[in-house]
Amino acid sequence: MFRHVFPFVLMVLTLLIARQIYPYTSFMQPEVPDGFSIEVVATNLGGPTCLEWYDEDRLLVCDRDDGRILVLDEEMNRSTLISGLNKPHDIAITTEHIFVSEAGDLLRFDHTGLENITNKTTLISGIPTGNHQTNAVNVLPNGTLIWHSGSTCNVCDEEDSRNGALLWVNGSTGEHGILASGVRNSFDGAWVPTIGYVFTDNGRDWEGDHPDEELNLLEDDGFYGWPDDSPSNPIPSGSIAPIARWTPHTSMNGLAVRPDTSSLPGGNTTVYATVYGSWNTILPQGHEIVQIDLDASNGEAKASTSVFASDVGTPLPIAFHPNGDLYFAVFGSNGKLYKITSD
């Protein structure tokens, strides 16, 4: 009997191994709608987790694996802006400062242009890391920083209330507090005019079709459900429901607001999101760029979602160039940068 079962078991194991490897290889062929083109414009970026346009000619890239911030010029030539970091995840740029989110710490550098980066300051340190780490850092319209802090576990009660939360931060003093809780692992967020601050959240693993990946709208002191959001009670009493949902366990991550200059589909309240792809399913799911159209004309924010690009590997950060072209980077294949343009 074993002789007949063994080939089947071997086939299943082979498929499982291939399924884990395939999204990280170069075999996926990205697909975009008719009228658009996609191309690789840079390779060997390590582990890219952020993309920020400093100006029309220079793109900043977080390389988590090598602990550095890269600068790519208009010809995609690269140089190192900041090195010696601990798993940098994101940056936020203001007129005078560059803020860097790394594992457990929030750093601030002074700058008067990329040629003059000085005065490294640790604003916050010691936030626990585990399954996830401190993620995006963004600037709200009032100048306050918002810092995304992932959970240390899959499902648990955190010892430090700053985990599994969004934090407000005073960029001058480092004073900070909890802006929203019950947020298991929010990779990124974005301010959308007339809508507010929206953010992704990746739900717990290993529970079948529960829960959906989420796009949420920030409410001050809001509770977003984790870890109380069980399969039998997905929206716990007192928690805030998402405004958009996506395929469970596919990891919706980076966000970029569509600018007026873009020829990609959508309007002034459209965001594009990366969907990294599932790792605990038999068949690949995700690995796509999603268009999310937001509307609050009736006083309540609503969203409609659709796939814009598919089979794009393992995308994480995403950013629009000032001219409207869309850039995103994949975490596999040693870090590739793609550009989507209209034909």
Segment 73-125, tens digit of pLDDT: 999 999 999 999 999 999 999 999 999 999 999 999 999 999 999 999 999 99
Query: Does the bond joining 236 to the residue before it have cis omega, within 30 degrees of 0?
Result: no
32 contacts: CB under 8 Å, gap ≥ 6: 38, 308, 309, 340
Output the DSSP codes for 223-290. Answer: E--TTT-BTTBSS-TTPPPPSEEE-TTS-EEEEEEPPTT--SS--TTEEEEEE---SSSSS----EEE
User: Is 229:236 a contact under the CB 8 Å cutoff?
Assistant: yes
Is pLDDT of 177 > 50? yes
Helix/strand/coil for 333 = coil
For residue 317, give the nearest of 97, 88, 107, 28 by alpha carbon.
88
What proportion of the chain, given as a percentage, has pLDDT over 70? Answer: 90
Question: Bridge-partner residues for 309, per DSSP?
Answer: 289
Is pLDDT of 278 > 60? yes
Question: What CATH class has 2-342?
Answer: mainly beta
User: Is 267:327 a contact under the CB 8 Å cutoff?
Assistant: no
H-helix or E-strand spanning residue 158 = none
Distance CA 299, CA 202 (A): 27
Query: Residue 98 corresponds to which amino acid?
Result: I
Assigned token pair, 25: 């290889």
Over residues 46-51, mean pLDDT = 98
User: Is 331:316 a contact under the CB 8 Å cutoff?
Assistant: yes
Q: What is the pTM of this model?
A: 0.91
For residue 317, give the nearest of 38, 87, 46, 52 by alpha carbon.
52
What proportion of the chain, given as a percentage, has pLDDT over 90? Answer: 80
Residue pLDDT, tens place only, 218-267: 999 999 999 998 888 889 999 999 999 998 888 999 999 999 999 999 99
